[in-house]
Amino acid sequence: MKKVIVCLVLCLLCGCSTKEKSPLEVTETVFNHLKTMNYYEISDYTLDTPTQNNWDTFYQSIKENKVKMTCLKYLQDFDVSYIIEYESKDNATILVTMKLHNLAETRELFLEYFIQAFEYYNDPPKYQEELKKAYTQAFERSTPSLILTYRVALVSVNGKWKIEQINDFLNNYVNTIINQINLIDYYNY
C-alpha cells in the first residue's frame, strides 16, 4: 500500500511540474503559427504585442480571389531551419532561414498553363478555376527558392523565453508575402 501511495505522490509531483520551452522551441512554435498566418497566437511568446493590421486588410482584399488564395497556400508552406547562434541564461539568438516559393519564378512556369486558361476568358467562373489550376500546376513544378534569413533575439522573463521586437520581423515577413502575392496582378485578371 505504501508503494502505491508513493507512486501516486510522485505522479502528482511530476504532473504538476511544467518544463518551460527552450529558446529554440519558442522560435519553432512562433514560426509554426506563421505558417497559418495566425499572428495573434504568438503573443504568449513575445515581449511586445504582435500587430498585423496591414495583413488583416490585405487578407480581406484577396480572400475571394481563388488564384491569390492558392498562391497564399503555397507561400505558407515554407521550409524553415534553425541554428542556435548564442544562448545564455538570459539571452539567446536563433538564426532562422525560411525558404519560400518565389512567385516571380513561379510566374514563368505559369505562362505555359496560362494560355490554356485564357481559352475560358469569356466565362469568368471557369476562367478563375482554370487560373487556379494553372497556378497549382506551376507550383507543383517549382521549388522554393526565395530565402529569408532572420536573427531572432530572445530574452528570459521570469523563466519564460520571449522574442524581442516581433513586430519588426512580422512587418518584414508580411510585406514579403504581400509583395509576392501582388506579383500575380501582373496578369490583371
Domain membership flag for residue 44 = yes
Domain membership flag for residue 12 = no
- 77 Cβ neighbours under 8 A, 6+ residues apart: 35, 101
CA 27 – CA 96 distance, rounded (Å): 9
Domain membership flag for residue 30 = yes
Give pLDDT tens digits for 19-38.
Answer: 788 999 999 999 888 887 77
- Placement of cell 500546376 in the chain: 137
Domain membership flag for residue 2 = no
Cβ-contact 55, 36 below 8 angstroms: no
Domain membership flag for residue 16 = no
pLDDT at residue number 98: 92
- Structural domain of 116: 103-142
Same domain, 157 and 172: yes
Same domain, 42 and 71: yes
pLDDT at residue number 11: 45
Domain membership flag for residue 49 = yes
Domain membership flag for residue 67 = yes
Cβ-contact 94, 84 below 8 angstroms: yes
Same domain, 54 and 111: no
This prediction has a pTM of 0.74
Same domain, 94 and 134: no
pLDDT at residue number 138: 84
**pLDDT beneath 50, residues of the chain:** 4-17, 188-189
Cell triple for 25:
522551441
Same domain, 94 and 122: no
Please tell me whether residue 74 adopts helix, strand or coil conformation: helix
Total domains, the chain:
2
pLDDT at residue number 85: 94
Cβ-contact 149, 80 below 8 angstroms: no
pLDDT at residue number 58: 84
pLDDT at residue number 128: 83
